[in-house]
Every structure is written in structure tokens, then in C-alpha cells.
Amino acid sequence: MYSAAWQHVHLYSPRSINFDSNMPAYRFLYKKRRIADARSADALKLTGSDAPPEGWEVIPSYDAKCLVAYLMALNQSHPLKEAKSAGGAPPAAGSPAAAPSPPAAGSPAPAK
């Protein structure tokens, strides 16, 4: 399972994690701000061309935090059960289920 920090970096700059990624960056979910006293505990640890200039940091917005919380809540630690068809197997040709049902009272008769 990926950490929240990994999820934030992946949302901000997917190609910094996977060079061939075609996922778009969701930078609009993050704010770049000047560091006042100390670096925020929430600030993304970015490197290379994604790193903000000296004295600046990138922090997640409330929406980014909510999205990452949702992604982290998606439990993928168990195998998926095999899905069954909603309709089941088609009825056999001679079975009563295969015969057309009579029209409901008051409904027009089907054309012949």
C-alpha cells in the first residue's frame, strides 16, 4: 500500500514517479507558498524540476487531503471474488421461462 506522501507526490507530478505515465498532473489541488518560519509538516518532498524555488513550499489543499484520504481508504489487500452474471444462464429452449409471457391486462396485443 502506498503512503499518503507518495499519493500526494503522484497527484502533483505523476511523471516524477513513472516517467511513461499518461496520468495528468493535478497541481491545481496544491498551493505554492512562501515559507514563513518553518517548513510545513504537510509540504511535499519534491525533487528536480518539480521542486519549488528556495524559500517556497508546495502544500496540499483541503480537497487534495480529502482525495488522498479516499484513495487510502480503497482497500486492495484482499483478492476480488469472481463476479457472477446478473441474469444467470439463458433459459433452455423448451423451458417455461423461455416461453413468452402473456400480455398484461389492458396492454395492447403484440402485432403478428
Of residues 26 and 103, the one with the higher pLDDT is 26
Report residue 2's pLDDT band, with 50, 70 and 90 as the boundaries.
confident
pLDDT the model gives residue 9:
96
Residue ranges per domain, the chain? 4-73
pTM of the entire predicted model: 0.65
Residue 15 above 90 pLDDT? yes
pLDDT the model gives residue 85:
62
Residue 60 above 70 pLDDT? yes
Show the cell assigned to 58.
508546495
Contact between 3 and 63 (Cβ < 8 Å): no
Measured in residues, the chain has a length of 112
pLDDT the model gives residue 104:
61
Residue 90: phi, psi to the nearest 5? -65, 145
Q: How far is CA 109 from CA 59, 82, 90, in A?
A: 67, 42, 25
How many Å is the Cα radius of gyration of the chain? 27
